């Protein structure tokens, strides 16, 4: 076959402070930067879905027609300009024809300035061009909010099975195998979709621990020759539209087999609702516990500053955990990565060894957050270029712009000019901080950090400091959820929260 391939990934937090512009996708912000045409093929050896698809398709002897690949860090809505420019390139290539099938590397939780369901909009436009018979196979993130529109217009959707997402390329390979089955059979797959009645906190979705580990174990056991594909997406609980939430879906050439697998997996999810809830620490609780544990620990104590995670829409510059460390007298602690291009530039102008007074971070406009006014010592400067050596994007080059290590009392702060989630230890090293040598590490991340940092951690704590991404979805000011969905496991329904008693 000749297969058209393209990718357009964004995870949209509709409550976040900053939108995703076209420039966001050009830079990548933790993803590979935007690539076109033959340059897309360079992703073959990167742990992203399109990389796995390219390898698998080439191994089967298929010809590939690469169009574009673009991804940006989670944020508020994708601008109309970015959506139409990037999506438009995909649709223009589709309209030119000359291929037998389509593979798209999408996220599944994209909300734009115009559309609640960015992926559904793209897929409907594609289907309008190619008609109903063209195979269109799509890979999705584990955090996809899968919609009826996506299911209707894709021949098959397949999601990651790990969080941290170490199986992104593997998911692309699975998509290639599903495409092979579709073409070999020459008939469409039946899809059985089940929608959960509750939102799951992002921190509760980690597949290294329970209950997610058991859920994906059962998923693997249920997938057999009759069940071509089975997926579970816990969803992205920060997109304010009616189809936000967890989904289970199965594909089979037999409707009965698809229903059987989807019902079995959904039954486990629904029957264990209470297990998906998550406890959180306040900033001071996390700081005090980290200090206490670190006194005798041989390895760093890690604190996840989850509500300012740029991987879910934060801007990675709130100061709540920094203030808690300073209030409680933490020493040999490091925080990263704070996105503040002005502070990084000021440090570069001053030079290593200088002491500079400036307001650091605190630009989230979230109640309880403000810039940290202090005198900082400039300990290290760099151009921000590094290589990912951790499991997630291993071998890819990274770019943080001007980077500085600023020290205040016993706390070192890695400051960058480009926003990026800390899921690789090298984001600290590029700021001159050796993470293994620190007693306490505060990371702007929720779960992805575990892929590279868990091996060096004595303990992992999750802090709920002020930030734009509410770790508990019940804390968000929802307006448009499905009336019956519970805003957290075992919590109240959206409808009940908005019922006014006269």
CATH number of the domain that residue 237 is part of:
3.30.70
Q: Do 182 and 193 fall within a single domain? A: no
Q: Do 231 and 243 fall within a single domain? A: yes
Q: Give the pLDDT score at 17.
A: 85
Q: Do 420 and 338 fall within a single domain? A: yes
CA 365 – CA 68 distance, rounded (Å): 35
Count of helices and strands (H, E) across the chain? 14, 19
Domain edge (last residue) among 130, 164, 187: 187
Kindly state the greatest CA–CA separation across the chain.
70
The residue behind tokens 């995670």 is 309
Burial, 375: exposed, middle or buried (Cβ in 10 Å; 0-12, 13-18, 19+)?
exposed
Q: Give the pLDDT score at 312.
A: 87
Exposure of 107 in the CB half-sphere (CA atoms within 13 A)? 25
C-alpha closest to that of 404 among 432, 363, 385, 440: 432
Q: Give the pLDDT score at 407.
A: 98
Count of positions (residues) in the chain: 502
Burial, 41: exposed, middle or buried (Cβ in 10 Å; 0-12, 13-18, 19+)?
middle
Q: Give the pLDDT score at 500.
A: 46
CA 160 – CA 105 distance, rounded (Å): 11
Q: Do 203 and 215 fall within a single domain? A: yes
Which parts of the chain sit beneath pLDDT 50? 500-502
**SS3 assignment for 63-132:** EEEEEEEEECCCECCECHHHHHHHHHHHHHHHHHCCCCEEEEEECCECCECCCCCHHHHHHHHHHHHHCC
Q: Do 215 and 319 fall within a single domain? A: no
Q: Give the pLDDT score at 501.
A: 41
Q: Do 111 and 53 fall within a single domain? A: yes
Q: Do 308 and 360 fall within a single domain? A: yes
Tokens of 118: 């960015």
The boundaries of the domain holding residue 146 are 1-187
Q: Give the pLDDT score at 376.
A: 98
Domain edge (last residue) among 170, 187, 204: 187
Q: Do 180 and 255 fall within a single domain? A: no
Check which CATH number belongs to the domain holding 94 and give it: 3.40.50.2300
Q: Do 217 and 339 fall within a single domain? A: no
Exposure of 90 in the CB half-sphere (CA atoms within 13 A)? 29
* Count of domains for the chain: 3
Q: Do 256 and 295 fall within a single domain? A: no
Q: Do 416 and 466 fall within a single domain? A: yes
Q: Do 212 and 290 fall within a single domain? A: no
Q: Give the pLDDT score at 502.
A: 36
Domain edge (last residue) among 127, 156, 187: 187
């Amino acid at each position: 076959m000749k297969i058209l391939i393209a990718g357009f990934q964004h995870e949209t937090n509709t409550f976040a402070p900053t939108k995703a512009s076209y420039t966001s996708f050009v830079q990548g912000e933790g993803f590979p930067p935007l690539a076109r045409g033959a340059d897309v093929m360079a992703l073959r050896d990167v742990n992203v879905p399109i990389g796995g698809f390219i390898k698998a398709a080439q191994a089967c002897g298929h010809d590939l027609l690469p169009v574009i690949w673009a991804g940006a860090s989670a944020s508020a809505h994708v601008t109309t300009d970015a959506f139409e420019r990037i999506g438009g390139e995909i649709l223009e290539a589709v309209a030119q024809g000359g291929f037998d099938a389509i593979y798209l590397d999408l996220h599944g939780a994209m909300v734009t300035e115009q559309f609640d369901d960015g992926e559904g909009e793209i897929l409907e436009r594609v289907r309008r061009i190619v008609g109903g018979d063209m195979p269109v196979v799509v890979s999705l993130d584990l955090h996809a909010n899968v919609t009826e529109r996506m299911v209707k217009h894709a021949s098959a959707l397949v999601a990651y099975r790990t969080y941290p997402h170490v199986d992104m390329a593997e998911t692309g390979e699975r998509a290639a195998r599903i495409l092979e089955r579709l073409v070999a059979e020459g008939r469409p797959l039946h899809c059985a979709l089940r929608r959960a009645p509750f939102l799951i906190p992002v921190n509760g979705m980690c597949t290294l621990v329970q209950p997610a580990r058991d859920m994906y174990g059962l998923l693997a056991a249920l997938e057999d020759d009759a069940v071509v594909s089975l997926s579970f997406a816990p969803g992205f609980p920060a997109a304010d539209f009616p189809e936000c939430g967890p989904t289970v879906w199965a594909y089979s050439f037999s409707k009965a087999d698809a229903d059987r697998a989807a019902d079995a997996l959904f039954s486990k999810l629904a029957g264990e609702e209470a297990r998906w809830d998550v406890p959180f620490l306040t900033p001071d609780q996390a700081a005090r516990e980290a200090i206490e544990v670190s006194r005798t620990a041989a390895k760093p104590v890690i604190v996840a500053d989850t509500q300012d995670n740029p991987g879910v829409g934060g801007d990675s510059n709130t100061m709540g955990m920094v203030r808690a460390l300073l209030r409680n007298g933490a020493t040999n602690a490091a925080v990263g990565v704070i996105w503040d291009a002005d502070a990084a530039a000021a440090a570069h102008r001053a030079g290593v060894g200088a002491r500079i007074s400036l307001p650091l971070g605190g630009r989230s406009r979230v109640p309880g957050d403000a810039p940290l006014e202090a005198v900082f010592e400039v300990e290290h400067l760099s151009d921000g270029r590094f290589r990912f050596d951790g499991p997630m994007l291993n071998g890819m080059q990274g770019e943080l712009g001007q980077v500085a290590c600023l020290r205040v009392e016993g706390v070192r702060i890695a400051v960058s000019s480009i926003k990026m989630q800390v899921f690789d230890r090298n984001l600290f090293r590029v700021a001159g901080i050796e993470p293994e040598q620190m007693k306490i590490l505060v990371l702007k991340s929720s779960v992805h950090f575990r892929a590279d940092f868990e091996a060096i951690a004595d303990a992992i704590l999750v802090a709920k400091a002020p930030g734009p991404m509410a770790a508990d979805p019940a804390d968000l000011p929802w307006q448009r959820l499905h009336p019956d969905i519970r805003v957290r496991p075992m919590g109240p329904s959206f409808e009940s929260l908005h019922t006014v008693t006269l």
